[in-house]
Amino acid sequence: MTTSALRPNLDDRVTQERVSLPPEVSNETISVMTGHESIRSFNPGSISEEALAAILISARSAPTSSNLQSYSIIVVRDPERKARLSAMVGNQRCVIDAPIFLVFCADISRLKYVAQRQQRHFAATNLEMFLTSSLDAALAMQNALVAAESLGLGAVPIGSVRNDAIAMAAELGLPDGAFAVVGLCIGYEKAGTRRGTKPRLPHQVTVHEEQYSSDGLDDHLVDYDKLMMARRTYAGRRVSMAGEPETEGADYGWMEHSARRCSTPDTIRGAAASLRENLREQVEQRGFVVR
Amino acid sequence: MTTSALRPNLDDRVTQERVSLPPEVSNETISVMTGHESIRSFNPGSISEEALAAILISARSAPTSSNLQSYSIIVVRDPERKARLSAMVGNQRCVIDAPIFLVFCADISRLKYVAQRQQRHFAATNLEMFLTSSLDAALAMQNALVAAESLGLGAVPIGSVRNDAIAMAAELGLPDGAFAVVGLCIGYEKAGTRRGTKPRLPHQVTVHEEQYSSDGLDDHLVDYDKLMMARRTYAGRRVSMAGEPETEGADYGWMEHSARRCSTPDTIRGAAASLRENLREQVEQRGFVVR
């Protein structure tokens, strides 16, 4: 059973953007990555222990800053725990439906222990260590996602594990110095729920040669907006603003969605929205120093 | 030319840890990820435009929080610029030798522009937005790394782009709201410089079932230390501590290295070391609010 036989997504980004990748720079791995689409609807079927082992060893193979490995992964399968976690991340149904929910944590608890053991003063109490350990967690998550997708599984990262870092830590029994950065739902997708790979901002907007350039930015954003509207990307997924009645026929594309998302929205996907204004306070309660 | 024909690394993590992955959970993608090894010595040969296109479209296909795409990538090839950047990251020779140096930036400048354009108040001025955009940059970097390695190229992430965020931003012409999170050297490896995939902490240390567990931690750390010493992982790469003469024959493994790294080291790899104590101040100068 090959990977390509398993993946129904023919609408990958290479085709979408009409990029010509000659055979010598085309392979299964690049095809898996460029075909990425977040999957939020899962069949009840479980995942084999072997598939999970492949996903986890891929995650553990990601680069880690100075080999400090300042992250931990919690594997959650218990339906009751998943139901409680789902409630903590804005009632996202996918956390319940996915047979496996992985939580990737920034984790400096081991490094603190090791410093003490070696009779060294642990001095990495600053924004850099918080960032480094969060990046370690993110890189491991990305490898887990790519591994899962390469096996024909569907997956979606869940940033809302940061909605309530304290409750999340209590549920997962995290030690002082560990903080849930991002979750990952993994399972077999429910047939017929794919919408196709979501278009990205044009290459010219996010990629710059030698130095940053905003040339043509506005034109590119307008084009992208039209594409996202034509695709009905945000149909049923609008961010509502307090005190603003929604006009049904109004144009609503990436720009309006993103502007609302970074403003002070009232609800996002039916759940009370927040910009996680208390994240710093919570992260510091979890044993990090962010200064 | 298949990928496996290009990759000389047979010592991947699956073999190293004697994990049995049956054929249905083995594929090229997982093999690329589990065979990851940072490559720091490059041949002078350049990289084709097609290979770079494949790497960049893979990077742009990584998940991004709420599709905000709050990152930017700077592609650096100019030898003089690479020499200046090398000096900023602790004189790492690989930045000069690699034909391509990618810099992945957290970037909220576009979102600020879009908010203004849509007449919305940009309120994402907190640790959450800083973290989200840094994670976006990290996920794109990881896909770029995996894509490069799948094409038989060598690569190494460079976290030291955070050594001096202000100088880095000036060199790359970054706008207010952009900050270099991590770099990536990419090139053809110099033959004979691979040391084999670096062993990771045992699965039981970094992966937890249902809830975090520190059971057996000390034994696992001692085993890992022995493995890393036997492999001479830190030979010639010790972190020196101010005022402490180095004893040549002393045991020096992952624990001592990591403890020193998180303490107040004097030099790391010959360069003056720092825990980037001023990162928060610099990040705020770059237009983020970290509170």
pLDDT digits (tens, 9 = 90+) for B104-136: 999 999 999 999 999 999 999 899 999 999 999
Residue B237 confidence (pLDDT):
83
The mean per-residue pLDDT over the stretch B195-199 comes to 90
| Cα B272 from Cα B277, distance rounded (Å) | 14
Residue range A147-152: average pLDDT? 97
Q: Check pLDDT > 70 for residue A278.
A: yes
Asked if pLDDT for residue B249 goes beyond 60, the answer is no
Please report the pLDDT score of residue B139 as a whole number.
98
Looking at residues B143-169, what average pLDDT do you find? 97
Higher pLDDT, A66 or B249: A66
Which of A196 and A213 is assigned the larger pLDDT? A213
Both structure tokens of B18? 């004697």
**Contacting residues of B for A159, CB less than 8 Å apart:** 65-66, 132, 135
ipTM (interface predicted TM): 0.95
| pLDDT over threshold 80, residue B284 | yes
> Which of A11-25, A134-148, A267-281 is the least confident region?
A267-281
Amino acid B243: pLDDT: 81
Percent of chain B's residues with pLDDT above 90: 78
Cβ B27–A3 below 8 Å, yes or no? yes
Over residues B257-272, the mean pLDDT reads 78
pLDDT at A280 (0 to 100): 93
pLDDT band at A273 (very low <50, low <70, confident <90, very high): low
B154-158 vs B207-209, strand pairing mode: unpaired
Q: Which residues contact B192 (CB under 8 A, 6 or more apart)?
A: none
Q: Could you say which of A50, A132, A211 has the minimum Cβ distance to residue B74?
A: A211
Classify the phi-psi angles of A274: left when phi > 0, otherwise alpha if psi is within -120 to 50, otherwise beta: beta
Per-residue pLDDT tens over the stretch B72-111: 999 999 999 999 999 999 999 999 999 999 999 999 999 9
pLDDT at B271: 59
For A289, the token pair is 């120093």
Kindly determine whether residue A124 and residue B262, on different chains, have CB atoms separated by under 8 Å: yes
pLDDT band at B250 (very low <50, low <70, confident <90, very high): low
CB contact under 8 A, B34 and A58: yes
Q: For residue A92, which of A13, A158, A23, A191 has the smallest C-alpha distance?
A: A158
Any A CB within 8 A of B15 CB? no
Give residue B44's pLDDT.
Answer: 86
Q: Which of A49-53, A79-83, B21-25, B58-62 has the lowest mean pLDDT?
A: B21-25
* Segment A57-109, tens digit of pLDDT: 999 999 999 999 999 999 999 999 999 999 999 999 999 999 999 999 999 99
pLDDT value of residue A194: 87
* Residue B248 in this model has a pLDDT that exceeds 60: no
Q: What whole-number distance in Å separates Cα of residue A112 and Cα of residue A117? A: 9
Residues 115-154 of A with CB under 8 A from B: 115, 117-118, 120-124, 126-129, 131-132, 134-135, 138-139, 141-143, 145-147, 150-151
Per-residue confidence (pLDDT) for residue B226, from 0 to 100: 94
Q: Which of residues B10 and B60 earns the better pLDDT score?
A: B60
* 3-class state of residue A93 by DSSP: helix
Residue A270 confidence (pLDDT) above 70: no
- Residues A203, B60: C-beta atoms closer than 8 Å: yes
pLDDT confidence bin for B277, thresholds 50/70/90? confident
Q: Return the pLDDT at A8.
A: 42
Portion of chain B with pLDDT greater than 70, in percent: 92
- pLDDT of A211 above 90: yes
pLDDT of residue B192: 87
CA A81 to chain centre: 20
Q: Give the mean pLDDT of chain A.
A: 91
Q: Check: CB of residue A67 under 8 Å from CB of residue A114.
A: no
CB contact under 8 A, A276 and B128: yes
Q: Tell whether A258 lies on the interface with B, counting CB pairs under 8 A.
A: yes
Backbone angles phi, psi at A242, to 5 degrees: -55, 130
B161 DSSP 8-state letter = G
| Chain B contact for A3 (CB, 8 A cutoff) | yes
